[in-house]
Amino acid sequence: MFRHLTAACFMTVLTAVHAQEPLAQAPGVPAVPLQATITVDLGKTLGKVNRLLFGNNQLGYQMESWNESRLNWVNCGYGIWDPERVRPEPALLQLAKDVGMSVCRWPGGCGSHNFNWKKTVGPVSERTNQKFGLPEFMAYCEALGAIPIITVAEYWGEAQDGADLVEYLNAPGDGKHPWATRRAQDGHPKPYGAVWFEYGNESYHGNHGGTQFEGEFKIFTAEEYARRYLDYRNAMRAVDANIKLGAVFHPKGWNETVLKLTGKDLDFIIRHPYLPSYGRNDGEPDAATLFAIGLAGPNTFPAQFAEWKEQTKRLTGRDDIPFAFTEFNGAFVQEKPVPYRLCLGNALIVAEHLRQYLHEPAIALATYWQFSNEYWGMVKGDNAPYTLRPAYFVFQLYHKYFGDTLVDAKVDCPAYDNPGGYGVMPTWGKPTAFQLFPGNLLPEQEWLTAVVDGKASDLKGVEHKEEDGVLVVDIPTDANFNYYHASKRMPAEPCTGYRLTAEIRTEGLDKSAGAAIQVGDGRGYSATRSCALTDELKSADWKEVSVDYITLADTKDIIIQTRRLSGGSKGKLYFRNLRVEKFIPDNPGAAPYLGVAASLDSSGKTCLMIVNKHMASVFATSIAGVAAKRVEAFCLTGPSVDAVNESVTNNVCVRPLPATVESGKVVVNLPPFSLTAVVLAP
């Protein structure tokens, strides 16, 4: 993940889930609850619960490879490591155990692009800027009982450096392997037996050189990345054939090349689902509207994941390649009125992500972004007592109550139409299939240049010329700046799909990612954070690009802009044959207010995890299909969907929730904007 900041103030919240008074009906909620029935089919098992979906990210940035690193955080792994006592910080280690943290990813996000792992091993006294390095991370994983997954830098080093990493971790200490000898000198003679590695992180956007990293900007084409992946995989597996190396997935043309070139050898596919995507600080739309949209988003995941699997099989000829979601969260990058990434609503979105992942056996593992401190941490603090953010309790409830075997559960409840927006597809009514309406809707018009949001803009000498239907953009400087200064507009309908196609070719732009074209809300990206971008490309020949965009519920027009995003270097961009066609997107139907996952444990207990997405109403919920004699319920909620734990103790926490069982009938009243674990004992 690109956006990182350092967290500051600290407070305490209670960690025990039984310590609160029973939850009463939320204030202001209608007195008459809505009705729902959940029917559990204990005879229909869906497979084992994959505990590797409950992983997390640990940060181990280097000062010289990520500008936002802070030495006090780097040396303690952002709080999880005690460098003075050379051990995991005990209280944070226990908090990690209490959420069943099964997988730990390191060194973390975009800080891994330029990460030199060789500077993180050897005597601690000689690495004063990296006291939490690779051996410390592995010691943390061993203390936690978690599987490590290590991101190998794609913009630093060569294939031999990847092979050396595997030798350090896995080769026998027989005197024939220098890096294994180094491992033994670091205090671990026995090989670690590490299996999971990633080649890079979101590699398609480059290494952030010149912005988040002081070094030179670098970016690989999909072909360059794929060739390097194969080189690294061959070198690393020559040391240990048991390792798995993942390749980065991107929902654009990148995949066409990477999957074709690596498919025969690909060990697993890396994907980072962040949904929704919201960056406004004006409180618009209101929190209830925003989170109703956000909570509908995961309902589109099964269809989306099916498309990814179909694409993978079509391009590789294989249907056995697993996925690893090594980052997932809601992409809320803002602070006002509250930091939504840290609020109850986002925790419920995370719970809905997990519910969907549990039902997809092709997902090998998942690691939430991220555990301790920094911008996104689910735990915050310099030392105990720590602040536990709402997302922490989602993982705690799953760890404490959810069983080992998935069972089928059907829910009968009202549903709501979702207008979409902020990366979430609109969903409404009954399911409908994709439908394209051929015909170019873009009105004849000249390109509007050098004007952004109605104001003249500094173009750094960029010149525009239109000849015979071709827009020529001449960039005369190597300066690394964001270019988006030629545009066309057209009227648009709300909650509607528009497919933009165009032809692009380029000259020069050697260090740039290339040219692209963007379509978005006519009010501009700064106002709405709503747009879609074609693949970036560099080609002397004309190439067709295409992108689909879904308008917001209040969209009135759309803007089409020429783009050069990443990297400097002079050159020319050529654009022609723009077309805009309308389509109706795939629609899974209105979003049910309740999301349900059900499990069975070895003692015969049934556990249901239920998200109530309604922003105002309690659901009086009957649970059928289980001959229960006893029932307990534990509910994560708060005073509002955007409630946080940043300044009010126990504002969002877990409390026991009254539930009844009479003549085998179980009834529980689910508060609005809540996650409830219901445990039924035979």
Averaged pLDDT for residues 550-564: 92
What pLDDT is stored for residue 9 in this prediction? 26
Query: How many independent structural domains does the chain possess?
Result: 2
One-letter amino acid at 87 equals: R
* CB-based contact 612:649 (threshold 8 Å): no
**pLDDT tens-place string over residues 337-386:** 999 999 999 999 999 999 999 999 999 999 999 999 999 999 999 988 99
What pLDDT is stored for residue 552 in this prediction? 83
Residue 169's CATH number: 3.20.20.80
Averaged pLDDT for residues 46-57: 99
* CB-based contact 557:534 (threshold 8 Å): no
**One domain, residues 448 and 381:** no
**One domain, residues 334 and 455:** no
If pLDDT is split at 50, 70 and 90, which confidence band does 72 have?
Answer: confident
**Matching residue, tokens 């179980």:** 666
Residue 139 is assigned to a structural domain of this protein: yes
Among the listed residues 252, 392, 244, the one whose alpha carbon sits nearest the alpha carbon of residue 321: 244
How large a percentage of the chain has pLDDT more than 90? 77
Averaged pLDDT for residues 482-488: 92
What pLDDT is stored for residue 529 in this prediction? 77
Instruction: Please report, in angstroms and rounded to a whole number, the separation of the first and last CA atoms in the chain.
Output: 44
**One domain, residues 155 and 294:** yes
Averaged pLDDT for residues 431-444: 94
With 0.95 as the threshold, say if the pTM is over it. Answer: no
What pLDDT is stored for residue 182 in this prediction? 98
CA dist., res. 628 & res. 159, Å (int): 57
Kindly list the distances between the CA atom of residue 361 and the CA atoms of 307, 309, 311, 414, 610, in Å, as whole numbers in the listed order: 15, 12, 17, 28, 21
**One domain, residues 147 and 291:** yes
One-letter amino acid at 157 equals: G
What pLDDT is stored for residue 251 in this prediction? 66
Residue 519 is assigned to a structural domain of this protein: yes
DSSP state at residue 534: P
* Length of the chain as a residue count: 682
* CB-based contact 198:270 (threshold 8 Å): yes
**pLDDT tens-place string over residues 615-656:** 999 999 999 999 999 999 999 999 999 999 999 889 999 999
CA dist., res. 174 & res. 155, Å (int): 32
CA dist., res. 596 & res. 40, Å (int): 10
Highest-pLDDT range among 451-465, 552-566, 585-599: 585-599
- Does the structure show a pLDDT above 80 at 284? yes
- φ, ψ of residue 494 to 5 degrees: the values are -70, 155
Residue 548 is assigned to a structural domain of this protein: yes
* CB-based contact 103:61 (threshold 8 Å): no
Residue 81 forms beta bridges with which residues?
88
Kindly compute the dihedral angle of the four CA atoms of residues 29, 33, 34, 35, in this order, to the nearest 10 degrees.
Answer: 150
Averaged pLDDT for residues 513-520: 93
Averaged pLDDT for residues 558-572: 89
- CA 296 from centroid of its chain's CA atoms: 16
CA dist., res. 501 & res. 640, Å (int): 43
Do the bridges between strand 659-662 and strand 665-670 make them parallel or antiparallel, or are there none, so unpaired? antiparallel
* CB-based contact 464:541 (threshold 8 Å): no
Residue 281 is assigned to a structural domain of this protein: yes
**One domain, residues 187 and 235:** yes
In terms of residue numbers, what domain contains 266? 48-403
Q: DSSP labels for 118-131?
A: GGGSS-GGG-TT-S
Mean pLDDT taken over the chain: 91
One-letter amino acid at 555 equals: T
Residue 630 is assigned to a structural domain of this protein: no
DSSP state at residue 91: H
Among the listed residues 569, 563, 565, the one whose alpha carbon sits nearest the alpha carbon of residue 510: 569
Beta-carbon contacts of 158 under 8 Å, excluding residues fewer than 6 positions away, are 231
**One domain, residues 353 and 214:** yes
What pLDDT is stored for residue 478 in this prediction? 87
**pLDDT tens-place string over residues 235-259:** 999 999 999 999 999 867 889 999 9
* CB-based contact 10:387 (threshold 8 Å): yes
If pLDDT is split at 50, 70 and 90, which confidence band does 27 have?
Answer: very low
- Does the structure show a pLDDT above 60 at 25? no
Beta-carbon contacts of 548 under 8 Å, excluding residues fewer than 6 positions away, are 497, 498, 499, 500, 532, 583, 585
> Of 358, 381, 403, which closes a domain?
403
If pLDDT is split at 50, 70 and 90, which confidence band does 294 have?
Answer: very high
Among the listed residues 564, 555, 452, 434, the one whose alpha carbon sits nearest the alpha carbon of residue 499: 434
Residue 133 is assigned to a structural domain of this protein: yes
CB atoms within 10 A of CB 627: 10
CA dist., res. 505 & res. 544, Å (int): 9
**Burial of residue 363 (number of CB atoms within 10 Å: 0-12, 13-18, 19+):** buried
Among the listed residues 278, 396, 371, the one whose alpha carbon sits nearest the alpha carbon of residue 330: 278
**One domain, residues 511 and 365:** no
Mark out the alpha helices in 106-247 (DSSP H runs): 134-144, 159-170, 178-185, 222-239
Residue 640 is assigned to a structural domain of this protein: no
What pLDDT is stored for residue 111 in this prediction? 87
What pLDDT is stored for residue 17 in this prediction? 30
What pLDDT is stored for residue 307 in this prediction? 93
Averaged pLDDT for residues 98-105: 99
**Matching residue, tokens 């986002």:** 346
One-letter amino acid at 377 equals: G
**One domain, residues 441 and 573:** yes
CA dist., res. 200 & res. 602, Å (int): 39
> Of 534, 568, 584, which closes a domain?
584
**pLDDT tens-place string over residues 379-429:** 999 988 999 999 999 999 999 999 999 999 999 999 999 988 888 988 999
**One domain, residues 446 and 529:** yes
Residue 175, classed as helix, strand or coil, is: coil
Q: DSSP labels for 4-33?
A: -------------TTSSPPPPPPTT--SS-
**One domain, residues 345 and 489:** no
If pLDDT is split at 50, 70 and 90, which confidence band does 210 have?
Answer: low
> Of 529, 564, 584, which closes a domain?
584
CA dist., res. 652 & res. 592, Å (int): 24
Residue 574 forms beta bridges with which residues?
472, 505
| Cis peptide, bond prior to residue 107, ω within 30 of zero | yes
**pLDDT tens-place string over residues 652-669:** 999 999 999 988 789 999
What pLDDT is stored for residue 505 in this prediction? 97
- Does the structure show a pLDDT above 60 at 3? no
- Does the structure show a pLDDT above 50 at 31? yes
**One domain, residues 518 and 577:** yes
**One domain, residues 266 and 120:** yes
What pLDDT is stored for residue 512 in this prediction? 84
Beta-carbon contacts of 322 under 8 Å, excluding residues fewer than 6 positions away, are 268, 269, 362, 363, 364
Residue 503 is assigned to a structural domain of this protein: yes
What pLDDT is stored for residue 342 in this prediction? 99
Residue 526's CATH number: 2.60.120.260
Which two structure tokens, joined as six digits, stand for 482? 């964001």
What pLDDT is stored for residue 207 in this prediction? 78
